[in-house]
Amino acid sequence: MLATLHTIDAPKAIDRIVDAFPPDQQSQIIAQLANALQAIIAQRLLPKADGTGRVACTEVMVMNDGIRALLRDRRFQQVLSMIEIGSKDGMNTFDESVANLYAAGLITQDEALLNARDPGRIMSMRPPKLPPLPGRRFPTTAISHRRLAEKRQGLSVQSSSGPLRPSVRNFCKMHKKAASCQMAARRQF
């Protein structure tokens, strides 16, 4: 059987299922849940760094003997640590998924920080190098992808030093010198 619940992660889904029943029946429900449940997959759809859509960030909890024992003992707060060490069973946490999406350049650092349980892990990562955008000859970062997507959508884009200068393509058309243009364009972003 498949079911959907609106919760923020896999451990909260267990809490929500158990709390749906009266307190005098919860111990019986926990025992049945520990035996019958096979997996919980939680997902969040995060905006892509280039602004073209969304990408799924997932948390997967597969029931194993350790998690079943935690459920029977009502130690729901320890389920997350079991998910973290259960990668050989196919489990992963939102933090691992967010870190992988950020490292691949699919989401921005801001989005990664908003969705990570441990923002320090994201802050310690280097911004990803992405393949060049069409019309560019040098690698870019997720930040410049986001800025260009915002410009395409007509949003006001500001950098720490004020509004962004013209796009690289316009900059190159104005200066017609390929080598010096490429160097100036790198400094621009």
Q: What residues contact 37, with CB distance under 8 A and at least 6 apart?
A: 63, 71
What ranges do the domains of the chain cover? 1-124, 129-189
How far is the C-alpha of 10 from the C-alpha of 38, rounded, in Å?
12
Write the DSSP string, 57-101.
Answer: EEEEEE--HHHHHHHHTT-GGGHHHHHHH-GGGT-B-HHHHHHHH
Residue 164 C-beta-side C-alpha neighbours within 13 Å:
24
pLDDT of residue 180: 41
How far is the C-alpha of 163 from the C-alpha of 45, rounded, in Å?
30
Q: Say which residue, 177 or 55, is predicted with more confidence.
A: 55
Q: Does domain 1-124 have CATH number 3.40.50.12780?
A: no
Strand 162-163, strand 158-159: pairing: antiparallel
> What is the mean pLDDT of the segment spanning 36-58?
92
Helix (H) / strand (E) containing 136: none
Which amino acid does the sequence have at 166? Answer: P
Digit-coded pLDDT (tens) for 22-45: 999 999 999 999 999 999 999 999
Q: What is the pTM of this model?
A: 0.63
3-state secondary structure (DSSP) of residue 124: coil
pLDDT of residue 116: 87
